[in-house]
Amino acid sequence: MNQYKNFSENLKHILNPEDIAIDEPMKNHTSFKVGGAADILVTPKNIDQAISVIKSCNIEKVPFYIIGNGSNLLVRDGGIRGVVIKLTSLNKLEVDGEKIIVQSGAELSNVSKKALEMSLTGFEFACGIPGSVGGAVTMNAGAYISEIANVIEEAVVVDKEGNILRLNKEQLELGYRMSAVIKYGYTVLEATFKLQKGDYNTIKNTIEDLTRRREDKQPLEYPSAGSTFKRPTGYFAGKLIEDCGLKGFSIGDAEVSKKHSGFIINRGQASAKDILDLIKAVQDTVKESFGVELHTEVRIIGEDL
């Protein structure tokens, strides 16, 4: 039973009715294509609406979860109690000299394209990361040659009570898949990236090279959440998993990718439980074989059935 259904009436004072969905399947909002229903899913159209929803949830003591495009998210089969606030409509982007100021719901690939268009270098690494700016800042996303910490100047966030804060690079406390956003439960609203003038063709060639490498090495043809595990100190998760003979190992329709062992994929009909059971099996095997603990990079939320 959806105990928060009546709360949707409160939200109609903030959002348009079409931006409020009841019992919304989360498989439609994650790149893994799995997950039970959220009691309420809302898509604010601007920052003021997003802040008002957060404040309303706090006043009514309704739990809420922030998501972008769900590319690093695994929702359990029982779904999510409370409100999911999806920020993908907050995607405004502007260029000010060598800076790009962008809202949290914008896709990293679009920021990369804009940087190329303006001959700004430094953001090439993010061209193939299938996430939004908010999630990238939260996790200090990185790939190949760089990470968010190397290009961010500041971020505008909102705390759990709805107060807006402007944090500089140091205040963001960016580390490996870690930040002050996670530490203090902030929500990213906007980020400013400081880039440098570069040569258009050089930037374009770098993006094309990174795109080729990604297409060659990653199982992009299947639903996944990217790299499933964080990189353990001194090791590579994918190599440890492959050395355990787990490449291609599956539970239900969840599989350790034959193309890249660091990825768990959904071959089509996997449940969240299949994926979670496979994650556990991989963690147990690697720990038993090498004494190394693997921690998930993917964010896991929601309830079991």
Among the options 71, 177, 255, 257, which is catalytic?
Answer: 177
Beta-carbon contacts of 216 under 8 Å, excluding residues fewer than 6 positions away, are: none
Cα distances (angstroms) measured from residue 284 to each of 22, 225, 263, 294, 297: 38, 20, 16, 9, 16
Residues 44 and 46: their CA atoms lie apart, in Å, by: 6
Residues 61 and 63: their CA atoms lie apart, in Å, by: 6
Question: Given the structure tokens 């199982």, which residue do they identify?
Answer: 219
Q: Is 161 exposed, middle or buried (0-12, 13-18, 19+ CB in 10 A)?
A: exposed
Q: Is 149 exposed, middle or buried (0-12, 13-18, 19+ CB in 10 A)?
A: middle
193 membership: H or E segment, kind and range: strand 187-194
What residues are paired with 158 via a beta bridge?
A: 164, 187
Query: Helix 108-117 vs helix 200-217: angle between axes, to the nearest 10 degrees?
Result: 150
Among the options 56, 227, 257, 271, which is catalytic?
Answer: 227
Instruction: Specify whether 146 is catalytic.
Output: no
Instruction: Specify whether 112 is catalytic.
Output: no
Residues 280 and 50: their CA atoms lie apart, in Å, by: 35
Tell me the DSSP string of 77-101: TTBEEEEEEE-TT---EEEETTEEE
Q: Are 34 and 75 in contact (CB under 8 A)?
A: yes
Instruction: Specify whether 297 is catalytic.
Output: yes
Q: How many CA atoms lie within 13 A of 172 on its CB side?
A: 30
Strands 73-75 and 299-301, sheet pairing? parallel
Give catalytic residues, as residue numbers.
Answer: 177, 227, 297
